[in-house]
Amino acid sequence: MGYDALLWLSFGGPEGPDEVMPFLENVTRGRGVPRERLEEVAVHYRHFGGVSPINRLNREAIAAVEAELAAVDIDLPVYFGNRNWDPMVEVTLARMTADGVRRALVFPTSAYGGYSACRQYDEDIARARTSVGDGAPELTKLRQFFDHPLFVAAFADAVRAALAELDDPAGARVVFVAHSVPASADAAAGPPEEGGHRYSRQIAEAARLVATEAGVAEYDVVWQSRSGPPSVPWLEPDIVDHIDALHGKGVPAVVVCPVGFVSDHLEVLWDLDNEARERAEELGMGFARAATPNADPRFARLVVELVREHTEGSPARKCSAFPSAGCTVNGAPCAVGCCAPATRPRG
Ligand SMILES: CC1=C(CCC(=O)O)c2cc3nc(cc4[nH]c(cc5[nH]c(cc1n2)c(C)c5CCC(=O)O)c(CCC(=O)O)c4C)C(CCC(=O)O)=C3C
Ligand SMILES: [Fe+2]
């Protein structure tokens, strides 16, 4: 029944200019992302000296979780591994094995279902176990947490704080944003019998819960960071186009809430704080961006609550009626055909 470690599993990001292209090649290998898009994204990273904040943000969150675990007397060392960049999860898992870890829980830094947000982390777990081979620890992934009350509360306070930054909060529109994915991937998200779209439906539900708790009556849900070729449909509208549309309707200000992410990583800094803010300013609109929960003390408490669902069998706290999916052992999918990857363009 016991667990002897927690593996913090994230996306990874470069920590210097020479790491940008190899990182992007890792992210997009075999995924049909055009070369021009890679070069465009490399410019975004170089704008920040080739350093994504994501690894630092993960290390800070891990330190907070270690403190929270110690405070409640749970003796669980925390290890850090990534899908796409150092520390790579294969290397971390080899170290865990050498340290004698037999059974570990895995916290993936994504709150949602869908291929990119959930099942790909299962693939990372399976790949790392295969790479370690015999003696690899048993890995149990923690569930999706988009509807956990602490996740909702942290975002709701962030939306209120962002509204308070504006000169005229009363007229502002709250816009929730998540990472776009291919429409085919969203259509395949969830177990086949559910009819698909689990990712976009969970995003819509999280937005509704956060808006309700923040006392926001009207809001929109839009998408960012599309990377496929124009011929492939992705979730729309894009945040920047949406700001144009709001301006066209006479909306004087926007609060953008990146509800699809847990930290202020590079896609938040570039696509929202740079591109979206710039467009709003060009149009003379007020703009404020809500913080992600990474640095909020409630985030560490949330992770520890998810851990205690396994170590102590404590009840899963949830604000929605969606099933609590995503919790599987050794990288198994939640169900046969659940969150199948998008069909990739050939060539
Ligand atoms: C749903 C989703 C999340 C949220 C769930 C989660 O958090 O895991 C997420 C997170 C992130 N995405 C990130 C970065 C990138 N994502 C890319 C490409 C893609 N993302 C996709 C989806 C998602 N991505 C998809 C369908 C693609 C197309 C290629 C493919 O089918 O896989 C590319 C390639 C270049 C480009 O085209 O943009 C980059 C650089 C970073 C790190 C930022 C940093 O460095 O700080 C983070 C946290
Ligand atoms: Fe991404």
Residue 195 vs residues 167, 190, 207, 323: alpha-carbon distances, Å: 43, 8, 21, 14
Residue 93 vs residues 80, 85, 217: alpha-carbon distances, Å: 9, 14, 46
How many A from CA of 180 to the centre of ligand 1?
9
Q: For residue range 258-308, what is the model confidence (pLDDT) as tens digits?
A: 999 999 999 999 999 999 999 999 999 999 999 999 999 999 999 999 999
Domain 5-144+296-311 and domain 149-294 have a common topology:
yes
Q: Candidates 3.30.2320.50, 3.40.50.1400, 3.40.50.880, 3.40.50.300; correct CATH number of 149-294?
A: 3.40.50.1400
pLDDT at 345: 52
CA angle 219, 179, 243 (to 5 degrees): 45
Q: What percent of the chain has pLDDT over 70?
A: 98
Over residues 132-149, mean pLDDT: 98
Q: Give the 3-state secondary structure of residue 287.
A: strand
Q: Give the 3-state secondary structure of residue 146.
A: coil
pLDDT at 132: 98
| DSSP strand pairing (219-224 vs 253-257) | unpaired
Residue nearest to atom 43 of ligand 1 (CA): 266
pLDDT at 346: 47
ipTM of the complex: 0.96
Distance CA 155, CA 158 (A): 5
- Asked whether 227 lines ligand 1 (CB < 6 A), one says yes
- Asked whether 31 lines ligand 1 (CB < 6 A), one says yes
Q: What's the mean pLDDT when you consider all of the chain? A: 96
**Quick check: 33 pLDDT over 70?**
yes
Looking at all shown ligands, the one closest to residue 182's CA atom is 1
Q: Which residue has the tokens 């990712």?
A: 199
Q: What percent of the chain has pLDDT over 90?
A: 91
Domain ranges of the chain: 5-144+296-311, 149-294
CATH topology for 5-144+296-311 is Rossmann fold (3.40.50)
pLDDT at 347: 37
247 has binding-site annotation = no
